[in-house]
Structure 1
Amino acid sequence: MVNNLIDSNERFLEILDRLTTKSIDDYYNPYKLFDWPDTLPDDMWWMSPELTTTHGTAAAGRLSPKQLHALSKFESINFYSLNVHGIRELLIEVTRRIHTKGFETPSEFFHHFIGEENEHMWFFAEFCLRYGRKIYRQPAGASAEIPRSSVESLLVFVRILIFEELVDHFNSRMAADDRLHETIRAINRIHHQDESRHIAFGRELVTALFADVQRTSNEQELADIAAYLRRYLTYSFESLYNPHVYRDAGIPEPLALRQELLASPARAEFEQNVFRKTSKFLEKIGII
Structure 2
Amino acid sequence: MMTTSARTGTARRRQEFSERLLQGSVKKSYAPIVDIDWDAPFEPDKFFLPPKVVSIYGTPLWDNMTREQRIELSRQELVNTLSAGIWFENILNQALLRKMMHQDPTAHATHYELTELGDEARHMVMFGKAIAKVGARPVQPKRYQRMIINLLPLTFRGSLLWVAALVGEEIFDSLQRQMLDDPELQPVIQRLMRIHVAEEARHIQFARDGVRRRVPHMRRFTKMWVANINGVGGLFFRRLFTNPVPYHRVGLDPGQARQMARTSRHRREVQVLGFASLAAFLDESGLMGPISRRLWRRSGFL
Compute the TM-score of the two structures, normalised by the length of structure 2. 0.83
Report Cα offsets for 1:21-40 as digits up to 9, x if no partner. Answer: 11112233322111113652
Indicate the residue corresponding to 1:119 in structure 2. 122
Matched, 1:108 2:111: yes
Report Cα offsets for 1:151-194 as digits up to 9, x if no partner. Answer: 83322221111111112123223332232222111110011110
- Among 97, 100, 121, the residue aligned to 2:99: 97
Instruction: Look up the equivalent residue of 2:210 and give its one-letter code.
Output: L
Matched, 1:205 2:207: no
Describe the shift of the 1:101–1:3 C-alpha distance in structure 2 as closer, same or farther (beyond 3 A): farther
Deviation of 1:231 (Å)? 1.8
Indicate the SS of the match to 2:46: coil
Indicate the residue corresponding to 1:18 in structure 2. 20
Describe the shift of the 1:22–1:3 C-alpha distance in structure 2 as closer, same or farther (beyond 3 A): farther
Instruction: Look up the equivalent residue of 1:270 and give its one-letter code.
Output: V
When structure 1 is superposed on structure 2, of 4-13 and 52-61 the one drifting more is: 4-13
When structure 1 is superposed on structure 2, of 256-265 and 186-195 the one drifting more is: 256-265
Deviation of 1:52 (Å)? 1.1
- Distance in 1, matches of 2:5 and 2:238, equals 35
CA contact (8 A) 1:163 1:236 kept: no
Deviation of 1:264 (Å)? 2.9
Describe the shift of the 1:13–1:7 C-alpha distance in structure 2 as closer, same or farther (beyond 3 A): farther
Indicate the SS of the match to 2:230: helix
Matched, 1:240 2:210: no
Report Cα offsets for 1:246-272 as digits up to 9, x if no partner. Answer: 111222x11331133213333332221
Matched, 1:128 2:131: yes
- Among 28, 31, 35, the residue aligned to 2:30: 28
RMSD over equivalenced CA pairs, Å? 2.8
Matched, 1:137 2:140: yes
Indicate the residue corresponding to 1:160 in structure 2. 165
Instruction: Look up the equivalent residue of 2:138 and give its one-letter code.
Output: I
- Distance in 1, matches of 2:7 and 2:250, equals 48
CA contact (8 A) 1:42 1:73 kept: no
Describe the shift of the 1:35–1:146 C-alpha distance in structure 2 as closer, same or farther (beyond 3 A): closer
Deviation of 1:75 (Å)? 0.9
Indicate the residue corresponding to 1:265 in structure 2. 265
When structure 1 is superposed on structure 2, of 151-160 and 47-56 the one drifting more is: 151-160
CA contact (8 A) 1:161 1:203 kept: yes
Report Cα offsets for 1:98-153 as digits up to 9, x if no partner. Answer: 1514895510111110111110110111111221332212377583865967x833
Deviation of 1:76 (Å)? 1.1
CA contact (8 A) 2:227 2:287 kept: yes
Indicate the residue corresponding to 2:64 in structure 1. 62
Describe the shift of the 1:29–1:231 C-alpha distance in structure 2 as closer, same or farther (beyond 3 A): closer
Matched, 1:250 2:242: no
Describe the shift of the 1:105–1:38 C-alpha distance in structure 2 as closer, same or farther (beyond 3 A): closer
- Distance in 2, matches of 1:233 and 1:148, equals 21
Question: Percent identity between the aligned chains?
Answer: 23
Indicate the residue corresponding to 2:292 in structure 1. none
Matched, 1:174 2:175: no
Report Cα offsets for 1:28-59 as digits up to 9, x if no partner. Answer: 33221111136524532111111111123333
Report Cα offsets for 1:49-88 as digits up to 9, x if no partner. Answer: 1111112333322322221111111111111111111111
When structure 1 is superposed on structure 2, of 83-92 and 236-245 the one drifting more is: 236-245
Q: Which runs of 5+ in 2 are unaligned?
A: 289-302
CA contact (8 A) 2:116 2:203 kept: yes
CA contact (8 A) 1:2 1:102 kept: no
When structure 1 is superposed on structure 2, of 135-144 and 87-96 the one drifting more is: 135-144
Describe the shift of the 1:148–1:122 C-alpha distance in structure 2 as closer, same or farther (beyond 3 A): closer
- Distance in 2, matches of 1:242 and 1:77, equals 11
Describe the shift of the 1:6–1:35 C-alpha distance in structure 2 as closer, same or farther (beyond 3 A): farther
When structure 1 is superposed on structure 2, of 236-245 and 79-88 the one drifting more is: 236-245
CA contact (8 A) 2:96 2:117 kept: yes
Q: How many residues align?
A: 282
- Distance in 2, matches of 1:4 and 1:59, equals 61
Deviation of 1:5 (Å)? 5.8
Deviation of 1:236 (Å)? 2.5
Indicate the SS of the match to 2:231: helix
Indicate the SS of the match to 1:176: coil
Compute the TM-score of the two structures, normalised by the length of structure 1. 0.86
